[in-house]
Structures are given as C-alpha cells and as structure tokens.
C-alpha cells in the first residue's frame, strides 16, 4: 500500500468523523438553547401565575378593607355581603398558597385572619396589626415577584418583629 491509497481511504473517514462531530455539536447547542428558552418560558409562566394570584388576593383584600373602614366610621355593614367578601378573601388566600412561597402564604394568612376579625368585629383584630401585615404582605409579594429595591413600606412595630425581618444578632427572637 502506498501513501496515495492510504490517504484515499483515510481522508473520507476523517471527513465523516468531522462532519459527525460538527452535526452533534450543532444539535447539542440547539438543544441547550431550546432547553434554556423552555426554562425561561416556564419561569415567566410561573411568575405570571404568582402575580395573578397576588392581584386576586389584593382585590379581595381591598373589598374587605372597605368593610373594615366602614365599621370604623360606624357605617352599618350588610352582613350577607360581608360574608361573601370574607369567603372570597379566604378563597383567594388559599389560591395564593397553591402558587406562592411559604413565606408569602404565611403572611397572607396572618393578614387574612386579621381582616376577618376586623370585618366580623370579633375580638382579636387590630388596625395596627392590619397595617403591619399589609406592609409585610406587600414587601413579601414584591420579593416573590423578584422586584428589588428599598422597602416601600416602613417597618411598623406593634410590639413584635415582622416575620421576614432577620434579627440583628442572627438569633431568632
């Protein structure tokens, strides 16, 4: 066998190997890019779902807060509509629990419980707690949606530390 015969046999094999390597590399890069796009789409859909649940919860909260404000101004509430509003509030809180983090869900629960107490005029709710939990919820919701920046609501102290605030010493309070 001379060099020309060996070259004629080996060069096509080298070409096939290089072509195969190029094809596999291209497919890998395309698949990786598609996977990244798919993950980004899933993340965007999950964020949109969380945002929708937060907006629905805030809509229900707003309606119940109107009842609470009316009670504070001695406007007699329609008990049937209060019952329906509280039902909608608890339902939206439960839906929020399905798609949002534990931290946001627990703040929403405290906020909902306080609003329920205030709207049904049972003992246990306080307007100061309502403001504290509203601020805590809004900050937790901003965190949930990935919105950075300084706090929009000042830390309200009613004798206890908000749940999402770390202690200064690093120990739990």
In sequence order, what are the residues at sequence separation of 6 or more whose Cβ sits closer than 8 angstroms to the Cβ of residue 167?
161, 173
137, part of any domain? yes
152, part of any domain? no
**Does the pLDDT of residue 6 top 90, yes or no?**
no
**Does the pLDDT of residue 172 top 50, yes or no?**
no
Domain containing 69: what range? 48-145
Residue 83's Cβ-side half-sphere holds a number of Cα atoms within 13 Å equal to 3
Q: Chain-wide mean pLDDT for the chain?
A: 83
Domains in the chain, number: 1
% of the chain exceeding 70 in pLDDT: 85
157, part of any domain? no
32, part of any domain? no
Q: Please, which pLDDT band fits residue 114 given cuts at 50, 70 and 90?
A: very high
Look up the CATH number of the domain holding residue 105: 1.20.1440
55, part of any domain? yes
165, part of any domain? no
Q: Which residues of 65-76 are buried (b: 16+ CB within 10 A; e: fewer)?
A: bebbeebeeeee
Q: Which residue has the higher pLDDT, 23 or 167?
A: 23
3, part of any domain? no
101, part of any domain? yes
Quote the strand ranges of 2-141, DSSP E.
none
Q: Mean pLDDT check: name the lowest of 46-50, 62-66, 73-77, 81-85.
A: 73-77
**Does the pLDDT of residue 23 top 60, yes or no?**
yes
Question: Whole-model pTM?
Answer: 0.69
Sign for the pseudo-dihedral over CA of 73, 77, 81, 83: positive
């Amino acid at each position: 066998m001379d060099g020309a015969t060996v070259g004629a046999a080996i060069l096509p094999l080298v070409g096939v190997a290089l072509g195969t390597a190029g094809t596999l590399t291209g497919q890998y890069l395309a698949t990786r890019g598609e996977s990244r796009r798919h993950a980004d789409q899933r993340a965007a859909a999950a964020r949109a779902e969380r945002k929708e649940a937060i907006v629905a919860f805030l809509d229900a909260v707003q309606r119940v807060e109107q009842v609470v404000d009316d009670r504070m101004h001695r406007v007699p509430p329609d008990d049937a509509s209060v019952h329906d509003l509280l039902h909608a509030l608890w339902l939206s809180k439960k839906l929020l629990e399905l798609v949002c983090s534990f931290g946001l869900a627990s703040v929403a629960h405290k906020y909902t419980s306080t609003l329920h107490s205030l709207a049904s005029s049972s003992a246990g709710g306080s307007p100061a707690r309502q403001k504290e939990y509203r601020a805590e919820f809004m900050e937790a919701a901003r965190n949930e949606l990935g919105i950075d920046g300084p706090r929009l609501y000042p830390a309200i102290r009613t004798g206890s530390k908000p749940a999402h605030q770390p202690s200064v010493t690093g120990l739990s309070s």
